[in-house]
Chain A
């Protein structure tokens, strides 16, 4: 599937929201590193894909009708065996159906469990006056509670990327506060510049959340992503 297919498929189906798989395909094509991700439609597929990708793995619901996957029991982390993977698949499907019997369930995504790290978010939204604007902040629940984020108007320069990372109050955490693994700031800058290029070249994208990104000392990987297209 090419990136155009992901957008074209969604458009053909009258959807503006891309699922995690489609979103990550777009990111990969823009040279943005994501976890490997495959779609399992059946329990058997979930088990064989788990084996193929290697344990521990993560299963997540893929449904256009379920936006907050964790809240409805649609995410299972740290699965270490074929048995666990199979059981998790059933549980996720059951939970999703219980949450919304009419939900269109495409399947369950299977991806390797990434080693925990400092979580950051990179997002894009469009301002009616200034066009695409990137946001950067600490990820996970911190972005929602603390709103410790910075913004820059696209296109970003290297200096803009550096400034917006340093601008957040939580910057010392990225530097490796109290012996924590520091984030690789230069790689985060690269990532911001890639996202800046990506959204500039893809005007059909209306909103983007890459959340979380795991920021390691030698890597930065998009763990979850969500693309919304222009209507």
Chain B
């Protein structure tokens, strides 16, 4: 492990954390967010007015980082920006594993003063070999040990998904929304202006992290594109990496003399980078979480033939449109499957050609499960997709009764039996409130579900492309 990784290892798994400059004006957000931190927590604050508030939170306060009689693995700096040079030097003297600079008002402010101050901070950090994260960011989150930068983030649990975000908002949202969808976090970091450590450093670290099986990235820009290219190529060979590039408009029109240059604008090159490295492109937080759900909870496949089961005729048409549009085949089933269906499937207003139109078979849970089993056992089918219509289930009073738990049990049993990927599309229609509950119940049983045919098809397609690329390595 190089010195950056060693420092980051301390900071991502700290036994001791110091918060410098938390205050009432911030609502003591840092110290409060760290109330479940399992290591030793210290505050550094010189303003006497703040001391009672810090004491009330039960956190030991010191007047300087150097006064703390402990080795500090991770420091969070929230002091006014004019004081940051001195505090960054303190962090170097204290030999912290890494320091997050939450403070803003640097280059992102667009002012000359901000840019100058940023250059000063950067050179102090560089000269002192400090693993500086930020400025203008939220830093590290490790839910297992309660290292949080927001009260909304989970603590005491952990998962296998790492997240690297240039934006603090996206880091907070991802780490809060992900777990609701079964996408649980191993470690995440928000890194802001990246004056010292950049996304590539965190990618390298999480690439080697044994607790992290999948990595998501939100990137607006990178300092050293060549290095990102080589590290991303390397890490994406070992684990899935999803890249969400923010800011994809053309960087002005460049005066060029050749065809090539006029066509190679920045958005195209980022797409190229992602594809060439074998990473997965995501265009939004939802796309990223959806694709991760497939990667985490659906059996990997390189086949693109889907067996589709919808609840009604109209849905069977548009579910087919959605999957066909993403390049999936919706083939006819084998004769053997049709024979099996003929034995029990009520075809009055229904159909089992593929797509399946369940219609009047709907109230019979056993028939739905039998249908899924037939699709799963069919040699023409690689992937099984089921529409769950919340509005219809609500009308039949399935949602409010134990019956829905029976459905979940039965689907879970089917998923266990089947060796093919299975996803559910939870169509809420006007029953969005109930749908939320159903989706979280499915997530709790590791059944990936999506809120629309389009989003499910898209996520499945991204995972399929990934597995196909990986199969060629």
Q: How far is the CA of A121 from the CA of B260 in the complex (A)?
A: 9
Count CB-based A-B contacts (< 8 Å). 74
Neighbour of A123 across the interface among B226, B259, B268, CB < 8 A: B259
Q: Does B395 belong to the interface (CB within 8 Å)? A: no
Q: Mark A120-150, 1 if CB is under 8 A from B, else 0.
A: 0101111111110101000000011001011
Neighbour of B225 across the interface among A121, A129, A159, A226, CB < 8 A: A129
Residues from chain B with Cβ under 8 Å of A135 in the complex = 259-260, 263-264
B residues 364-420 near A (Cβ < 8 Å) are none
Chain A's closest residue to B473 (CB) is A159
Q: Mark B462-473, 1 if CB is under 8 A from A, else 0.
A: 000000000010
Neighbour of B273 across the interface among A17, A153, A207, A208, CB < 8 A: A153
Known: A135-B264, A160-B276. A130 touches B269 (CB 8 A): yes
- Are A149 and B263 neighbours in the complex by a CB distance under 8 Å? yes
Known: A135-B264, A149-B263, A151-B264. A127 touches B269 (CB 8 A): yes
* Interface SS majority for chain B: helix
7 contacts between A and B (CB under 8 A): A123-B259, A128-B225, A130-B229, A133-B260, A160-B276, A163-B275, A207-B258
Residues from chain B with Cβ under 8 Å of A151 in the complex = 264, 268-269, 272
CB distance from A200 to the nearest CB of B (A): 11
CB distance from A212 to the nearest CB of B (A): 11
Q: How far is the CA of A67 from the CA of B275 in the complex (A)?
A: 34
Chain A contributes a number of interface residues (CB within 8 A of B) equal to: 31
Q: Does B261 belong to the interface (CB within 8 Å)? A: yes
Which of A124, A127, A144 is most buried by chain B, counting CB atoms within 10 A of its CB? A127
Known: A127-B225, A147-B263, A151-B264. A133 touches B272 (CB 8 A): yes
Chain B's closest residue to A135 (CB) is B260
Q: How far is the CA of A124 from the CA of B275 in the complex (A)?
A: 18
Residues from chain A with Cβ under 8 Å of B225 in the complex = 127-131
Q: Does A166 belong to the interface (CB within 8 Å)? A: no
Q: Does A51 belong to the interface (CB within 8 Å)? A: no
Residues from chain A with Cβ under 8 Å of B472 in the complex = 159
B residues 242-261 near A (Cβ < 8 Å) are 256-261
Neighbour of A17 across the interface among B222, B256, B257, B272, CB < 8 A: B257
Q: Does B266 belong to the interface (CB within 8 Å)? A: yes
Nearest 7 pairs of A and B residues by beta carbon: A123-B260, A129-B225, A125-B261, A130-B225, A151-B272, A207-B258, A125-B260
Neighbour of A129 across the interface among B222, B258, B260, B261, CB < 8 A: B222
Q: How far is the CA of A231 from the CA of B448 in the complex (A)?
A: 54
